[in-house]
Amino acid sequence: MIIRVSELQGEGMTIDDPAALGWSFEDRSWRLDGIHLRVGRDGADVVVDGVAEATVPQTCGRCLESFPVAVRAPIDLRVVPRPSVGDTIELSNDDFETDFYADDQLDLGGILQTETTLALPMKPLCQPGCRGLCRGCGANRNLAPCACPERPPDPRLAGLRGLSARRDR
């Protein structure tokens, strides 16, 4: 959804219906489940705040199975006009929630895409106790126990073997 900044008047606008945004994500498998956004002006700047809820397919970091993740992305963003090519802008620590718009157009779909991506887990797990893949045969240990023999410990770590016992003395 593209918003013309010059058309934002007074109180701005509130968006509570995901259907009002059309398709917000580049990846068609992502689904916007809920939205509550307030878009308003502060001089030439635009302030966007609220929350977006989405369902995003992820791949487990241990067993490589696909599963859906429910994401709740808080949005608190100040969008300023893009400076001309020759201008330089020095950002302070408070400016990490700052983005730019150009040609009097604010791309709300791009903001939702970015904020939802930032809210995704760093290492997605299909379940907290995921057992992962067997290092020997590659079988998913969540589905069936693996019949591979236990691997001997790495000989390079032999010097660390008694470390915890020596530390407790």
How far, in Å, CA of 123 to CA of 87, rounded?
39
pLDDT one-digit tens code per residue, 146-169: 888 877 778 888 888 777 766 666
Q: What DSSP string describes 51-96?
A: EEEEEEEEE-TTT--EEEEEEEEEEEEEEEEPPPTT------GGGG
Q: Is 38 helix (H, G, I), strand (E, B) or coil?
A: strand
pLDDT one-digit tens code per residue, 6-55: 777 878 888 888 887 777 677 888 988 889 999 888 887 888 899 999 99
How far, in Å, CA of 64 to CA of 95, rounded?
37
pLDDT one-digit tens code per residue, 51-102: 999 999 999 999 999 999 999 999 988 887 777 666 666 666 666 666 777 7
- pLDDT score recorded for residue 137: 86
